[in-house]
Structure 1
Amino acid sequence: MLDWEERRLMVKIAKLYYFEGWTQAQIAKKHNVSRPVISKLLNAAKKEGIVEIYIKDETIHTIDLEQQLEKKFGLKEVIVVSTAGFTQEMAKRQLGKAGASYISKNLKNIKNIGISWGSTLLSLVEEYPYERNAHIRIVPIIGGMGNNYVHLHSNQLAFNLAQKMNTSCMYLYAPAMVESDDLKEMLVHTKDIAMVLEEGRKVDMAVVGIGNPFKDSTLEVMGYLKESDLTSLKKAGAVGNIGSCFFNEVGMEIDHPLNDRFIGLNIEEIKKIPEVIGIVEGSHKLESIEAALVGGCLNVLITDDRTAQALLDN
């Protein structure tokens, strides 16, 4: 039990430190004691309930989720965006802003950025600020050709992001998926395509989306997947895809004909990139995201708060 004098001293020191903005060194000098004594008294004030510290801000909820996810999956960083009451389009835009901000602030020593494709990455590119990064080159890490959904293709996203950064990009002139193994082999060994794929393997940072082939799949909407493909993918144990490469529940590339016919970096090649940023929203992708995290496909995750909570509860 503290006596009156001890309690009074703790209150006095706490007031100077928390309300008046004094440093511990300044308080120590005033009371003619060492700084560790002040630190000890401040900690004692918390234990005795004299001082209670809490953060009064709605973002504390998302910060807690971020820290728990970083610890659970061993990630470099997690950014959780609150999207309560948002439409799916609004949620993607918020994630795009968060992704653009993260990349813009973490470009030190980055010379090449790989980019995949999809609607969430489109939001990132649209939200990216105009800046000068002429030393950085943007490289598409998956093919994408045709007349439909061109705005989602990696080449278009690479071009638009390069414009925002006032820099250059490469183009991967190949479809995301071809009709046969032979055609793929022929294409990936052509000089231009082989060169871009090799540059993709050497990027310092990559930004990717994660798909669930069975729910709201952009691959299906774009016509790459038929009903028979979905049935065989499920039998083969597919739970998600990065680009057009399908993986199982532990984030390993599955043995499936479709994985032999896509043009781009495969899962194992993506895992070797020093920093892979996954931007993904929607609890319908929960199993896909968790598998990618378990398999070590990502270093950085940017997602919404509902999905983040589900990842922790699952």
Structure 2
Amino acid sequence: MNDASQEKKRLLVKVSTLYYMDGLNQQEISERLGISRPQISRMLATAKSEGIVQISIRNPYSEEQAYERAIAETFGIHDVIVVHVPDADRQVIDQHVARAASALLESAIKDRDVVGIMAGRTISSVGREMHYAGRKDVKFVPMIGGFGSDGGAWHANSNARVFAEHFKSRHLLLNAPAVVASPQARDFFLNESEISDVLEAAKKASLALIGIGQVTDQATIVRSGYFSDDEMKGVQTKGAVCNISTSFLDETGERVHYDGEARMIGLSIDEIKAIPNVIAIAVGDDKVEAIASALRGKCMDVLVTDMDTAKLLLDWQRKNPVRQA
């Protein structure tokens, strides 16, 4: 190495030490050494490319991230967060998944965002884990009406309120049931500006948090009493395996149309998919087929789940490839 090369290397080492070890920023180094800030940036990049700086990341989440990449690549979505809590019971795992989803949401929300919120106990648990993040003029909006008259703490209205309280922001209320007795009753509700305005606000959300439901007689839509067992069997006969808001999807992720749609008040899956950033949270071996359906249907941009569900999801996908028409 000639003298000029030796001195260039010495300067690269000095700049790298000031930046990575002493904690100076690029502007401070520029002022200290009399070298332009863009040149400092180029020198730091050169130091990395020449091996002078070798960055090592202690990653305790390598196994989870392997599954995150596998699911994201398999289904073609933006990102996945997999939470692993070894030897924990279901309640503890669910709490950690909710915390992961709340941390993601807190980071994703920007000033003046309108955030669409779905019904469900899982969504409710995320709301309880939220913290104020200093964003301005954020508004939480329910994306579906209420199920029954029991005042459940997991209804979309209740969930929107909890998110807003924890995030110190505003929320809207959708004063209508999710399922009504007839299409005429639905039209009556939608003619009320107080209701239609909230739904329009939900459609224009910049960010949404949704759950994913399986299609069984234990589904919330059936237990509410507004959707009969026969109606549920009818959508099952049509191949439905997944329920999101007012819509059902089949195994391939295609929307299944059903007579009861005309009695539902809330956003359809197509309206949810039009929202720029949709985060879905779902866990449990009983939801694997439903999650796969939603992933195949590109119903979300990010999925938050747990390790066991992630493993079962990839295994189910391998065993149930999409059949070509």
- Asked if TM exceeds 0.5, the reply is yes
Q: Is contact 2:114–2:205 with CA below 8 Å preserved after alignment?
A: yes
What is the distance in 1 between the residues matched to 2:152 and 2:231?
Answer: 23
**What is the total number of aligned residue pairs between the two structures?**
272
Give 3-state SS (helix, strand or coil) of 1:273's partner. Answer: coil
After TM superposition, the structure 1 = structure 2 runs for residues 1-314 of structure 1, keeping only pairs within 5 Å, are: 38-39=50-51, 57=60, 59-108=61-110, 111-144=113-146, 146-148=148-150, 150-214=152-216, 216-313=218-315, 314=317
8 Å CA contact 1:174–1:263 kept in 2: the answer is yes
Contact 2:111–2:138 (Cα < 8 Å) also in 1:
no
Indicate conservation of the 8 Å contact 2:278/2:299, yes or no: yes
Secondary structure at the aligned position of 1:113 is classed as strand
Q: TM-score normalised to the size of structure 1?
A: 0.79
Q: Letter of the 1:60 partner, please give it.
A: S
8 Å contact kept, 2:111–2:137: no
For 1:226 and 1:145, the matched residues in 2 are separated by 13
User: Pairwise CA RMSD of aligned residues?
Assistant: 2.5
TM-score (norm 2): 0.77
8 A Cα contact 2:280 2:303, kept in partner = yes
- Contact 2:82/2:310 (8 A) holds in 1: yes
Once the 2 structures are TM-superposed, how far is the Cα of residue 145 of structure 1 from its aligned partner? 5.4
CA pair 61-147 structure 1, distance change in 2 beyond 3 A: same
Q: 1:271, 1:292 → 2: CA distance?
A: 11
The one-letter amino acid of 1:235's match is T
- For 2:141 and 2:125, locate their aligned partners in 1 and report how far apart those are by CA, in whole Å: 18
Distance across 1 between alignment mates of 2:225 and 2:128: 25
Shift of 1:186: 1.8
Tell me if structure 1 keeps the 8 A contact 2:112–2:139.
no
How much has 1:260 moved relative to structure 2? 2.1
Structure 1 residue ranges without an equivalent (≥5): 1-20, 23-33, 43-52
Is the contact made by 1:145 and 1:174 (CA closer than 8 Å) also made in structure 2?
no
Tell me how far apart the structure 2 counterparts of residues 208 and 36 of structure 1 sit (CA, whole Å).
41
SS in 2 for 1:239: strand
CA spacing shift, 1:215–1:129, aligned 2, 3 Å: farther
Partner AA of 1:92 in structure 2? D
Q: Take 2:277 and 2:314, find their aligned partners in 1: how far apart are those partners? A: 23
Deviation, structure 1 residue 298? 0.4
**Alpha-carbon distance between aligned partners in 2 of 1:258 and 1:246, rounded to the nearest angstrom:** 11
Give unpaired runs (5+ residues) of structure 2: 1-19, 22-45, 318-325
| CA gap 1:105/1:227 in 2 versus in 1, 3 angstroms | same
